[in-house]
Amino acid sequence: MPQIVFLPNAEHCPEGMVVEAQPGETIIAAALRNGLEIEHACEMSCACTTCHVVVREGFASLEASDELEDDMLDKAWGLEPQSRLSCQALVGETDLVVEIPRYTLNQVSEKH
């Protein structure tokens, strides 16, 4: 069973976290099932960017994002080449190392 290593994030998992994932499960589903509360304002329907993550290792093992996810990612705060919406990225057989960005677009707009 593949593992997802979540890097330390001050708000979500200060010490980092390692969870087991089922192949074919989304990154966010594995996180939520293990008590890691990644924000998901649109209830995981690919209609926002609050579940944006950066896949630091294992990115190539993920299926390519589709056009809808790419359009949403264009709106994400702190977009990087290895960014994905965790509600859309399906875990394969490869372990992943994932970073939850410090901010989401929701948090940035709420502070202004």
Could you tell me the pTM of the whole model?
Answer: 0.90
- CB–CB of 59/4 below 8 Å? no
> CA 19, 24, 27: angle at the middle one, nearest 5?
40
DSSP assignment letter at 52: E
**What residues does each domain of the chain span?**
3-110
The residues pairing with 83 across neighbouring beta strands, listed in sequence order, are 54
pLDDT digits (tens, 9 = 90+) for 27-63: 999 999 999 999 999 999 999 999 999 999 999 999 9
Q: Give the C-alpha separation, 96 to 58, whole Å.
A: 5
Pick from 26, 21, 29: nearest CA to 4: 21
pLDDT digits (tens, 9 = 90+) for 11-32: 999 999 999 999 999 999 999 9
Question: Superfamily assignment of 3-110 in CATH?
Answer: Beta-grasp domain (3.10.20.30)
CA 98 vs. chain centroid, Å, equals: 7
